[in-house]
Each structure stands twice: as structure tokens, then as C-alpha cells.
A and B are shown apart, each in its own frame.
Chain A
């Protein structure tokens, strides 16, 4: 099983500042990585797929990068609605053995 490790567990950021979230895979997942945003009491929402492609309707302040085992989600200028938990997930293993990271909580500083 591919293990996904996210860091940091919690990120304290002021509105308007940049946030950088990391995700590491225990083995290469190529670019088969997605990022999801989850707000309290809500289902996860797809932000990024293919490591760097924004999903429909996702603002340009969200960007993804990386390939292989190291990935980054950057939020260029945090808005109030961006404070949430973010999960990475690999889908390289197919037939599937899909795995999620442990999440990074982005909180208001």
C-alpha cells in the first residue's frame, strides 16, 4: 500500500498570506494525485487532479505542483473561505488501492 504523508498537520496563516502544503508518497505515484478541501460538516471537494490541474470552478489562487513522490498545494492569498482541512490522495494504483494523506488543517493565525 502506498502511504501518503502530509505536512504540517496544522498551518496557521493570516488572511492574504500564502499557504504551502506538502504531501509525500512512499513510492512514486507519477502525477496521479488529487487534492481535496473539506470544511467542517461538509463533504470533501475536489480542488486539483493530475497533481496540477484545477477542477472546474476552483479559483486560480489554488495551484498544485510536483510529481513522483513530492507534491505541493499552494494557496497564493488566503481568503476567509479557504480555512479548512486539505487532503491529498493518490490514484496511481489501478486496479485501485486508493490512499489519502492524514490532512493539513489551515487555520487563521
Chain B
């Protein structure tokens, strides 16, 4: 059974750096074609894709946020980490991680973690 779980702080202050961890099981990110992606959803708004890392350690970012995002993986721990710098109240959202397989759609999602940016 494939599962993903997001973890991180519930509250960050403006200008701080957010670090989120996606811990997964049921698949290996060293398997060819496997990827993990981060997506966020502000309250009452639509989904927004943020970043993706693949089995070969290639990394891809949303054009609008790429200067603030860094994605990395620890294959031995089955974890993917996303950092976002210079947090702002508009970054308040639920952050999800999801698995992407060879066919490139997001087939399994974590439950999400809610992050509030406030002083």
C-alpha cells in the first residue's frame, strides 16, 4: 500500500524559511520513473503545483516560485523535503505531497499539512 505523509510547522513568521517533509512508503524513489511532487492549496482556492523531484534526482519548479523553492530527497529514509524561503501571509495554505509514476499523473496523495504565515 502506497502512503505519503506531510509534516512540518503549523505556524511560521513572515520572512522565515519553511521546511516540509514528505515521508512515504510502499514505493521507492530510486525506481526508474518515480517522482514525488509538492502541491499547495490556499484556503478556499485551487490547487497549485510547486515542485517535483524524480528518481534520477532531477528537480523541477513552478516558474512563479522557483527562486524560493528547493526540493531534495533522502532515498534511504523515503523522504522528500521542500524548503520555501521568505514566507509571506499569502503562502498560508495546505501543502500536499503526491506520488507521480511513469505515466506522470498524481496517483496517490498525502493528507496534507496546514501552514499559517503570521507574525
Contacts and interface: CB of A to CB of B under 8 A. Distances in A.
Do A and B come from the same complex? Answer: yes
B46 A46 contact: no
B51 to A, nearest CB: 9
Interface stretch (B15-23, B80-88, B99-107): B99-107
A95 B107 contact: no
A40 to B, nearest CB: 11
Interface string A28-50: 00001010100000111110011
Nearest to B58: A95
A94 B58 CA distance: 12
A99 interface: yes
B111 A49 contact: no
A97 B64 CA distance: 11
B24 interface: no
Nearest to B110: A43
Contact of A34 (B37, B58, B96, B106): B106
A43 B96 contact: yes
Contacts of A49: 103, 105, 107
Interface of A: 1, 32, 34, 36, 42-46, 49-50, 55, 87, 89, 91, 94-103
B60 A95 contact: yes
Interface residues on B, range: 20 to 34
A interface secondary structure, majority: loop
Interface of B: 37, 39, 46-49, 52, 58, 60, 62-63, 96, 100, 103-112
Given A96-B52, A97-B63, A102-B46, A43 B105 contact: no
Nearest to B47: A100
A91 B46 contact: no
Contact of B46 (A45, A50, A55, A101): A101
B45 to A, nearest CB: 9
11 contacts: A36-B106, A43-B109, A44-B106, A49-B107, A55-B107, A87-B46, A91-B104, A96-B60, A98-B52, A100-B46, A103-B46
A96 B63 CA distance: 11
Given A87-B46, A99-B49, A102-B46, A46 B106 contact: yes
